[in-house]
Amino acid sequence: MSEELYKQMAQSIIEGEKEIAIELAKKSIELNMHPLDTITKGFVVGVNYIGDQFGAGEAFLPELVMAGEAMKAAVAVLEPELLKLGEAREVMGRVVLATVEGDIHEIGKTLVGTMLSASGFEVTDLGVDQPAEKIIGKALEIDAQIIGMSALLTTTMIRQREVIEELDKEGLRPRIKVMVGGAPITKDWAEKIKADGTAEDAVGAVQLAKKLVGKE
Residue ranges binding other proteins (CB under 8 A): 57, 60-62, 104, 107-108, 111, 154-155, 158, 183-184, 201-202
Beta strand 146-150 with 121-125 is unpaired
Closer to other proteins at the Cβ: 5 or 158?
Answer: 158
d(CA 106, CA 108): 5
Contacts for 49 with CB less than 8 Å, ≥ 6 apart: 10, 13, 14
- Smallest gap from Cβ 184 to other proteins, in A, equals 7
- Smallest gap from Cβ 148 to other proteins, in A, equals 16
- Smallest gap from Cβ 189 to other proteins, in A, equals 11
DSSP β-bridge partners for residue 125: 97
Closer to other proteins at the Cβ: 29 or 158?
Answer: 158
- Smallest gap from Cβ 119 to other proteins, in A, equals 18
First to last CA, the chain: 31
Closer to other proteins at the Cβ: 77 or 163?
Answer: 163
DSSP β-bridge partners for residue 149: 98, 180
d(CA 47, CA 24): 15
Where are the alpha helices (H) located in the chain, listed in sequence order?
2-14, 18-30, 35-37, 44-55, 61-84, 107-118, 132-141, 154-169, 187-192, 202-212
d(CA 120, CA 72): 9
Closer to other proteins at the Cβ: 83 or 107?
Answer: 107
d(CA 133, CA 166): 8
- Smallest gap from Cβ 20 to other proteins, in A, equals 22
